[in-house]
Chains A and B, each alone.
Chain A
Amino acid sequence: MKNFLYFLFIAVFFNVSLATAETPEEKGLAIAQEDDKRDNGFQDFTASMVMVLKNRQGEESSRNIRNKTLEVENDGDKSLSIFERPRDVKGTALLNFTHKTGTDDQWLYLPALKRVKRISSANKSGSFMGSEFAFEDITSQEVEKYTYKWIRDEEYQGEKCFVFERYPTYKNSGYTRQVVWLDQKDYKILQIKFHDRKDSPLKTLTQSNFKQYLGKYWYPGTMYMENHQTGKSTLITWKNYKFQNGLRSKDFNKSSLKRVR
């Protein structure tokens, strides 16, 4: 009887520990899924952003853009970016359909020509408007776009964070991996370090000035991307977030591109 009890104890003990042990890959995926869950349900939002590009010599150039984003069920978000400044490109609009897998769809409206041009989206790795943000950085991050691996927990900027790596599934991605610092309380992305196709450190994204909207969603007020290889940087400042404006799909199609102002 005693032997049996010992055996039972050992069996239960091992079973329990086996049941709670997660591989780092599973843990990473779980974190990403939780993050995605917390981000869902906002329906739509509008915001305006100022993007300042700086080169190694300190020379600057800035652009003002208004942004509308629509959440799409079971797929990536749709977004419409309207350029306000510089004056020569005012009224130019970029329509972007993100897809969970495969290439995104993009269209650009040129008001001077009154024509909509489809853009080749094999260029997701290309830079957005000459900035250090690639298209694949700013389009909505869906869980299926990466595979994951949790690395460690760490304190960063006074907040306890998950540090995990994610590996793009997109074949033509400009990155081999990204290392993400996600705070454990609110699942805000505080920092991402990007590694290029040679697996050398390429860029670092720092997000700050987070505000909570609708009592649930945390959005950054400031995004700073620095390219360590070229010395160039881009600073994006977001303002006037407005949620649940009642936007619908028909506000995000080619004809709505032309009507935009």
Chain B
Amino acid sequence: MKNLMNTSIRYQFRGDNDYVIEHLTGFESIEYSLNAGESGGVSNPAYLKKVDEFAQWYRKQPGVMYVGTLTDTMKRLNKNMHGDDEAYYRLPEERDLSAQYLLLYELSLPFGLDLNNQINIDKSSTRFTAILESVSTQHALALEKRAQKWLRENAPPEMASHGASPLIMFSHIAKRNIDSMMIGNTLALLLISVILIAVLRSFKLGLISTVPNLVPMFMTFGLWGWVVGEIGLAVSVVAPVALGIIVDDTVHFLSKFRRARVELGKTTEESIRYSFHTVGPALFLTSLILVCGFLVMTFSGFRMNVQLGFMTTISIIFALLADFLFLPTLIMKLSKPITENKSHP
């Protein structure tokens, strides 16, 4: 069972991935294209110095595993060309010397390789690669922002550039997703309440319905925040998914309650009992079935599915508890004043 939960063992790819990160290098990177402003400008000593300064600043940032740039190659070439004297592990000071080192390097590359994955064909820009440890999207975006600030403050204007990489892309996607989820969820909730008010033909009942719709979500996220503390793309998707299922329970309970109250003329307590008798078992069973279904997802090797499974299970359970324990008492508490008004449709 323990092995089942340990994805490193279950999946060769994951195990290899973790090994690489622990012993070799990282998989997340941020790449920059640093422009020298003129053709052949990568040989300019001032440009190389700036790139080197940027690299040194970057290396000091938390979460950065490694920074690779052309300047490291240049320093090494300089050292090699001076009999491997350590004192020469520094950037060449003359522009033509840098250009000639590049030529030497280009002439020595084996088949299929050229410098074009590090320098553009015009020799006016070089590629700057920062490899990161497994960091959160928040961390990555913040780091990128700081880097851009450094470039704006310390480097000539033509060198300013955005970081680019799958990590940056996904970080932005996740952020955008979460932001729009929040708006979407709120809108959905409002709409559902409005529709319930219209369908139940009661302002009070419609408003009351928002409570058992919202409360399970709050409780689920609260529990998650307490136990896990991190929200990602998967978790943000749970709210709308679970909302649909939660609303079901509420609608069934309230529509039966309304029928009992309005059509059959029963009292509040009798109507609540009526609801329990008619839809109670069904609510319980469907929730149980759904919980079993979503629990299966928690066996997945894919973390997003596990999280989705867990969260939805918890929210369905909370929804059932809210509808069975909270909603009836809420109705009874709020119904007293309107009992007299509502006895005639």
Contact = CB atoms under 8 A, between A and B. Distances in A.
B99 A89 contact: yes
Given A86-B40, A117-B104, A129-B103, A112 B94 contact: yes
A113 B101 CA distance: 10
B43 interface: yes
B16 interface: no
B114 A130 contact: yes
B100 A92 contact: yes
B107 A128 contact: yes
Contact of A89 (B100, B108, B115): B100
Given A117-B81, A130-B114, A130-B116, A108 B122 contact: no
B100 A126 contact: no
Given A59-B122, A115-B81, A127-B114, A110 B97 contact: yes
A88 B43 contact: yes
A125 interface: yes
Size bin of chain B's contact surface: 20 to 34
A180 interface: no
Q: For A59, A89, A122, which residue has the most chain B Cβ atoms within 10 angstroms?
A: A89
A151 interface: no
Contacts of B113: 126-127
Interface string A94-122: 10000000000010101111010101101
A92 B104 CA distance: 10
A110 B116 CA distance: 22
Interface in B108-124: 108-116, 120-123
B96 interface: yes
A112 B100 CA distance: 7
Contacts of B98: 88
Q: For A60, A88, A89, A90, which residue has the most chain B Cβ atoms within 10 angstroms?
A: A88
A123 interface: yes
Contacts of B99: 86, 88-89
Contacts of B116: 55, 130
B236 to A, nearest CB: 38
A224 B241 CA distance: 60
Contact of A123 (B96, B109, B115, B120): B109
Contacts of B107: 94, 106, 108, 119, 126, 128-129
Given A86-B39, A88-B100, 19 more contacts: A55-B116, A55-B121, A61-B39, A88-B43, A90-B96, A110-B100, A112-B92, A112-B97, A112-B100, A113-B97, A113-B100, A117-B104, A119-B104, A120-B108, A123-B109, A125-B110, A126-B111, A127-B111, A172-B111
List 3 tightest A-B contacts by C-beta distance, closest first. A88-B99, A125-B111, A112-B97
